[in-house]
């Protein structure tokens, strides 16, 4: 219903090369009132965003950064210079209105067991999954603060100013989901660390009116074995958008799944 409509001024979404990022991009554009500015950031300018979703990127709301080629959203969350350039592009478009919502979705994984885990895997996955969202959050803090101040509404919400970190139930120390199916130690550690980062961001940025949450999309991790069943990208996206529409101040620094249920750290 209309209650679930986000009605956002501006959104920046990382990891739009495919999968959840691309589906979320489409989900935002298909809303009754799509964001005024939608910034799609991805690694490969010639990748899936251009191929399968040309129509998505021709939508007037979508801005790809930086536009080195037509419809080319290029931003590497592991590269500070790339992030700085992206922040500059966003500022050019949004001005003093700032950025309402940053979704740190870019992520990677390496399949591993405790016996086969390597320092290389650990470093690679942590760099993208944990340091990436940190650097994005630092770089876009001024724009998020401006949005929090510009919005006349009081209270916290994704409409005003928010950082959403796409995490995973596999990062929950309490739940330790699907250990028998997949150990993936590097991935679990990176997401547990991302969850702590989310809490740190919430504690530090909350005073500026910026809401910070972690969300498990359900669909991105491969199927977790019998009984759980893979959730479709469409279900995940619809669930995430519903959740984002109803997050408020009490949700700051918390962990949710795509169904709108609170998860234990």
| Architecture label for domain 10-257 | 3-Layer(aba) Sandwich (3.40)
Give the model confidence (pLDDT) of 19-56 as tens digits: 898 899 889 988 888 888 898 887 765 554 444 444 44
Percent of the chain whose pLDDT exceeds 70: 81
Query: What is the predicted pLDDT for the residue at 29?
Result: 87
Query: How many Cβ atoms are within 10 Å of 48's Cβ, its own excluded?
Result: 15
Of 42-51, 72-81, 97-106, 139-148, minimum mean pLDDT range: 42-51
Q: What are the C-alpha distances in Å from 238 to residues 28, 69, 213, 235?
A: 10, 31, 17, 5
**Contact between residue 104 and residue 24 where contact means Cβ atoms under 8 Å apart:** no
How is residue 7 written in tokens? 């009605």
How is residue 16 written in tokens? 């739009």
Percent of the chain whose pLDDT exceeds 90: 56
Of 6-20, 47-61, 100-114, minimum mean pLDDT range: 47-61
Query: What is the predicted pLDDT for the residue at 74?
Result: 57
Q: What is the DSSP letter of 63?
A: E
Average pLDDT taken over every residue of the chain = 84
**Contact between residue 260 and residue 231 where contact means Cβ atoms under 8 Å apart:** no
State how far Cα 248 lies from the chain centre: 17
The residue that leads in pLDDT, 110 or 1, is 110
Of 40-54, 93-107, 138-152, minimum mean pLDDT range: 40-54
Query: What is the predicted pLDDT for the residue at 231?
Result: 81
pLDDT of 226 higher than 60: no
Query: What is the predicted pLDDT for the residue at 52?
Result: 42
Domain spans in the chain, listed from the N-terminal domain onward = 10-257
Query: What is the predicted pLDDT for the residue at 180?
Result: 83
- Residues 129-146 have a mean pLDDT of 96
């Amino acid at each position: 219903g209309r209650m679930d409509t986000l009605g956002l001024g501006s959104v920046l979404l990382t990891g739009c090369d495919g999968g959840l990022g691309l589906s979320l991009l489409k989900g935002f554009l298909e809303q009754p009132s799509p964001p005024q500015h939608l910034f799609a950031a991805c690694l490969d300018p010639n990748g899936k965003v251009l191929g399968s979703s040309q129509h998505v990127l021709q939508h007037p709301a979508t801005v790809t950064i930086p536009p080195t080629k037509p419809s080319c959203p290029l931003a590497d969350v592991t590269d500070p210079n790339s992030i700085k350039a992206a922040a500059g592009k966003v500022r050019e478009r949004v001005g003093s209105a700032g950025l309402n919502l940053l979704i740190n979705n870019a992520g990677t994984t390496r399949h591993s067991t405790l016996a086969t885990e390597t320092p290389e895997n650990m470093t690679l996955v942590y760099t993208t999954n944990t340091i990436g969202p940190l650097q994005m959050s630092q770089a876009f803090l001024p724009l998020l603060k401006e949005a929090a101040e510009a919005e006349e509404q009081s209270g916290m919400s994704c409409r005003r100013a928010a950082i959403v970190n796409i995490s995973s139930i596999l990062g929950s120390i309490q739940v330790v989901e699907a250990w028998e199916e997949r150990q993936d130690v590097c991935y679990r550690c990176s997401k547990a660390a991302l969850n702590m980062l989310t809490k740190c961001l919430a504690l530090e940025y909350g005073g500026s009116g910026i809401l910070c949450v972690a969300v498990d999309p359900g669909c991105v991790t491969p199927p977790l074995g019998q009984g759980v069943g893979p959730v479709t990208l469409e279900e995940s996206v619809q669930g995430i958008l519903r959740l984002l529409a109803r997050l408020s101040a009490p949700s700051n620094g918390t962990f949710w799944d795509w169904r709108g249920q609170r998860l234990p750290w």
